[in-house]
Every structure is written in structure tokens, then in C-alpha cells.
Amino acid sequence: MANQIVLDGIGTSGGRKSAHPIRQLRTLLAPATGQQSNALCLSPSPVACWRMDDVRFGFDSSFVLPGARAELRLLKAVIDENPRCPASVFGHADPTGDDEYNKQLSGRRAMSVYALVTRDTAKWEELFTSSFGGDRWGAPEIQIMLATVEASAGGASVEGSTTLSSADQIQAVRAFQRENGLVVDGIAGPRTREKLFLAYMTALCTDDTTGEVLRLDPRVDFLGHAADAGGKGDVQGCGEFNPVLVFSSEEAQQFAAMQDHAGRDDQNVCNRRVVVFLFPKDSRIDPVNWPCPRTKDGTGACRKRFWSDGERRRTPAGNRRLYERDRDTFACRFYDRLAMSSPCEGAGEQSMFIVRLCDGEDKPIKNARCRVVHGQRIISGEANENGEILVQALREPPVCTIEWGFPGGPETEFSYSVELFVDVDTDDADVAASRRLHNLGYSSGPTMSDDVRGFQLDHGMTETGQLADIRAKLTEWHDGGDPPRGD
């Protein structure tokens, strides 16, 4: 198994993170001899994304479960990979229930995540004390938090037992209160909760292997920079307006007829998610102009941003539709533009290929140190015993640079480097073939014809020097065969 170098997307059981493809193109402007002027918007397109799935929340709840640790590690990673790129949090609900209900619910989930990473215990207290429909925080949540905090502190873990006897519960609260300088009365009141929330948030945001902690500053790390008290620009709920999956009309009818909603809820799970987008470095927006309403507001402002056929998009009709394939399931135009190239929402084509790193004599370098540069992303890694690495990247930009050297050398010095095409498929068959030829290591000849001959010689073919003659073989070798060599 080649050692993975994942440049752009990585997933866990409860979510994923990814970079967005970067489209760096020239802006076209008109000079002025009179009154001409040019608007120049500092691209509001996200540069990276993160998603946390429903499984990390309690059922129908905004409470974040301990398993979210894994996804919070991913969030820290994507933020570290994109320094000074501010975030905005979007919560989504499935279509069960009415629009207003779902807007509030998705908003509560988004706010819960926002508060978690900024350590805003007051916002969690608000979620705790004002329940909403099925979203009710209570004794079970207190228990989970106590158990998690205790386990993090190295105490005995009570994992797996979510129903402690009330006597044991009180004991657990007392123990926590004792350890945290609180009045020891066995009741998890507001003061106890405040400290418990903080301890739990910290536990979830701490990587227990590296000790690194994820903590964001509301005034610096979010797009609206906390300029708005209600979080406009920083955190919002999209309700059910942007599903990634829309049932077929048949499925919708069948589910509606069933008494037990478990099947429908299961199928709908992918729609219940929280997405964070990271925006270009140092972006800021004036909340006044941000189209999304606050988490506590109603759906009015959302509807203003609907596609003219927004209702059709999010409503079952005909076949089942998926955002990643059909691209027409989101009702909100604004969100659609943000998510358009987001691998977290199913967009973006990736390439995966194995590269065998060799020395000057074409011998694989065991555990070679290497570094892959793709656009603005740089990842260091190590090859496996066969000198192989598995590179996974989005297809834009189309070229990446791989540098490698012998293990144990200085960190930034590499003996060898090569440029590889990450995107070998273009409409032009000749270009596609020449890219594959290059990737396979045949690009040092003075002309293309020499490179083709080199390939033909190595593969026992007649040396014609014609690219067309080797196209099929190239695809076979490149896409399925020997990993490319480097020298």
C-alpha cells in the first residue's frame, strides 16, 4: 500500500475537509479616458471547505457528540492549511418538518458548532435552556459531557453506559464540582454547566496525540468578524433549502404513507449536515450586505435568494436527484455559488495516482522523503518500502511538482524533482496522450517523436515516433499499469 499524500480531500467517518480548486485567471479591465471605471470584487468564492455529518449530533439535536473529535481535527487541519482565511458556518436540515422549523433547527446546529470552536459557553447555555421541538438538552447530555471530561482527564471511562442511576449521576456531578471549585451540591445548575461546557468543548477540540488545540477567535477567524451580535456573516442555518439529496416522487410518496419514519430519516441523513467554508485570506464582509439572515431569524431573507425555480429544485419530482450529479437540488442561489466547486458538497473531480520514486539509476528509493506542491498546497511525506506514494488531488491546477530525496536528508533539500500532470484527460486526444507520455517519464527527448520512440523501444513496439500509434498503450500503462518513474 503506497503511502498517501492527500493534497486536497480527506474524509473521516463523520465528515470531510477539502480544498476548492483554484481558478487563477486574469481579470479584464477597461482603462479610462473619461468616466469609465471598473468594479473589482475580491473574489467571494471559498478556498476550502469542511463538513460534519448528522452522526456527530444527538438525534434531532444540536448537541455535539464526543465522536466529533475526529472531524474537529480535520477542521483544525484545513484551517492550518489556509492561514488567515476566515470561516462561515452553514447548518442544513432535511426536508422533514416545515420550513420555519427546519431553519431554526439547522441554525441551532450551526450555532452549536460555532460556539464550540469559539468556546462560547453562553451560547450553549442558551441552547440548553431553550429547547426547540425535538432539540432538548438535558441530563443525558450532561452525563455524556461528564464522562468525556473524566475520560480526557485520565479518569475512569463510563463510555457505553448512557444510563447511569440517578445516584451515580449525582456522584459524577459532585466529583466534577469538587474538581472545579464549584459548590458541591450534585446539581448541574448554570454555574456547573458553564464549567462543564468549557471542559467538554476543550476536550473535543484537543487532539490527544499531538496535544494541539482548535480554538477560534470570533473577531478574527470568521467572515463577519463578530461585527453583528446575531452572528450575521459568521453563522447561519439554511433550513431544508439546500438538500444534497432529493427523493424521487415515488420515494416521497412511499415515505409519506409509512407510519414509521426510520427509513425516511435514514435515507435523509446526508442532508443533515454542518458545512464550514473558508474564504480567501483576510476577507471580510459588512454584515449589512450579507444575504443570509441570522440563525434566529425567519426564512424571509432566504427566499429572496432563491433561484427563480427554487421550489422546483428542492421538491421531489421524477427521479431521485443528487447535488453532486445533477447540480440542481439547492434552492438558494447564494449558497449554490459558494458550494459549486466544493468537494464537501460533492463537487470537484479528483485524480489519484501512484508514483514510484527512483534514484538516478531507476532504482526505487525505500522510504524516500518527498514533497508535493500543487497550486498553493504543499504537503510533505514519505514513500513506502517500494518507494511509492499515492497522490490524491483535485484536477485544477493541472500540474503538480514532486520533489524527493533519500531518507534522512535535510528537510528542505531534495535531490530529484519532476512535474506531473494531475489532469490527463482533456478533449484533445493528442494533448491527453502527450500528458500521459510525460507522466510515464518520457519527456526528456528533444522532440515529441524522440519521446515516443523511447516509449516504443521500452515496450517492444515498432519505433515509428508517432503519438497516435501509442495512444492506446499509453492509456493502458498510465491508467492501469506501472507507476511512473522519476529521475
Partner 1 sequence: MTRVHTVAQGEHAASIAARYGFQDYETVWQHPENAALRKKRDPNVLLPGDELAIPDSITTPVACSSGAIHRFVLKGTRLLLRLRPLDAARSPMPRTSVELRTNSGTQNATTDDSGVVEIALSVRDREGVIIIGDREIPVNIGYLDPVEEQSGWQARLINLGYLAPFIDEPDPIELRGALEEFQHDHGLTLTGEPDPDTLSKVRDVHGS
Binding site for partner 1 (CB under 8 A): 23-33, 35-45, 84, 223, 233, 279-291, 304-305, 307-308, 327-328, 333-334, 336-337, 340-341, 396
Are 370 and 5 contacting, i.e. CB atoms less than 8 angstroms apart?
yes
Q: Are 271 and 245 in contact (CB under 8 A)?
A: yes
Q: Which residue has the cell 419514519?
A: 261
Length of the chain equals 487
Residue with cell 478556498: 47
Q: Which is nearer to partner 1, 259 or 289 (CB)?
A: 289
Min dist. Cβ of residue 427 to partner 1 (A): 9
| Residue 86 C-beta: closest distance to partner 1, Å | 9
Name residue 130's amino acid: S
- Cβ atoms of 456 and 470 within 8 Å: the answer is yes
The single residue listed with the C-alpha cell 517519464 is 441
**CA 299/CA 306 separation, integer angstroms:** 11
Secondary structure of residue 16 in the 3-state scheme: strand
Return d(Cα 143, Cα 406) in angstroms, integer: 51
In whole angstroms, the minimum distance from the beta carbon of 21 to partner 1 comes to 9
Q: Give least dist CB 346 to partner 1, A.
A: 14
Measured from the CB atom, the residue of 40 and 122 that comes closer to partner 1 is 40
Shorter beta-carbon distance to partner 1: residue 36 or 209? 36
Nearer to partner 1, 191 or 304 (CB): 304
User: Which CB atom, from 45 or from 267, has the smaller least distance to partner 1?
Assistant: 45
- In this structure, what is the dihedral angle of CA atoms 351, 18, 68, 238, given to the nearest 10 degrees? -120
- Please, which residue, 284 or 485, has the CB nearer to partner 1? 284
CB of 176 to partner 1, least distance (A): 43
247 three-class SS:
coil
With H, G, I as helix, E, B as strand and everything else as coil, classify residue 375.
coil
Least distance in Å: CB of 401 to partner 1? 20
- Kindly report the CA angle at 422 between 416 and 425, in degrees rounded to 5? 140
What is the closest distance, in whole angstroms, from the C-beta atom of residue 423 to partner 1 in the complex? 11
Judged by beta carbon, residue 304 or residue 459, the one nearer partner 1 is 304
- CA distance linking residue 207 with residue 448, whole number of Å: 51
Provide the 3-class DSSP secondary structure of residue 100. Answer: helix
Amino acid at position 15, single letter: G
In the complex, least distance from residue 466 CB atom to partner 1, rounded to whole angstroms? 27
Side chain identity at 156, as an amino acid letter?
A
- Could you tell me which of 336, 277, 333, 272 has the C-alpha nearest to residue 303? 333
In the bound state with partner 1, the residue whose beta carbon lies nearer, of 259 and 308, is 308
Q: C-beta of 396: minimal distance to partner 1 in Å?
A: 7
- Residues 462 and 456: their CA atoms lie apart, in Å, by 6
Q: Which is nearer to partner 1, 397 or 445 (CB)?
A: 397
